Structure 1
């Protein structure tokens, strides 16, 4: 198992980060929030999970160990593979996922593409005791989402002006929310933009 990857961020794509490690470019599939934090040219450290399949070795990268742990626990539920687990972390933070499972919030889990009502119920049933309860100390901060989304859009090749316009377009919708998830904000901002 490869526990983490540390090195200079060589490139950022919409669904991955490429880190230069010992002369090699290692591609890490990651959530939008993790990608938004990566800065091309700067050193970064990502917790990783290696998924071995008959035809591929895929490395998934995470902002921290907690995100990786939740990713691995999600895959223990029947019908949840690495792509769906990553999609779940792309829509919800680890804390939000724990809260959704602990409170049996089927609607929150069904927001993830590929998860319907029955799948959400099965995930709740199978993971309720394993995923743990959300920590109030780990609750996401509502401040700083603008900076993270701005940096993420710049890393994806958008101009500062385009990033500012996208943030302004979604700010009214998100400022009324109790908590703003960076991944959700980045996804909404991307939806308002066309690729340069």
Structure 2
């Protein structure tokens, strides 16, 4: 083996004065990067939290709107079907055949008790009733019972009631 040259002498210089500002700033660089990363993390976390809350609120509002729309559609469909049945019953009530006329009037009595019947439709029932019994019996239902002044409708038993209802209690309980 060949001998390796001996290392040269190493001179160590120690500065006893204060360090320059850029040296201090360079030493604080990693700390500044850590603080910037923590600040970015906090801002992103708050943004995500706010978006999550906004999305939850929007989803709840959409659910409520969908439920309301479904309720409206169901009610509209029910009213449309009620009106289709009413047209059928009116056609039968105005028929010349007595059996068909009785069927139509009985159906109208049932339809008049429905929650779907509005005052405008009940007025149509009054007109049909008057046309069936004639103008001379306009205030009389043919059974010797006067018609209800508000709806003009009398049930098959001769009972006068609002919207064609009989004596049974049809009041609805309304919540607080």
User: Shorter-chain TM-score category?
Assistant: under 0.3
Which protein shows a greater Rg? 2
- TM normalised by structure 1 equals 0.19
Higher RCO (CA < 8 A, seq sep 6+): 1
Normalization by structure 2: what TM-score? 0.20
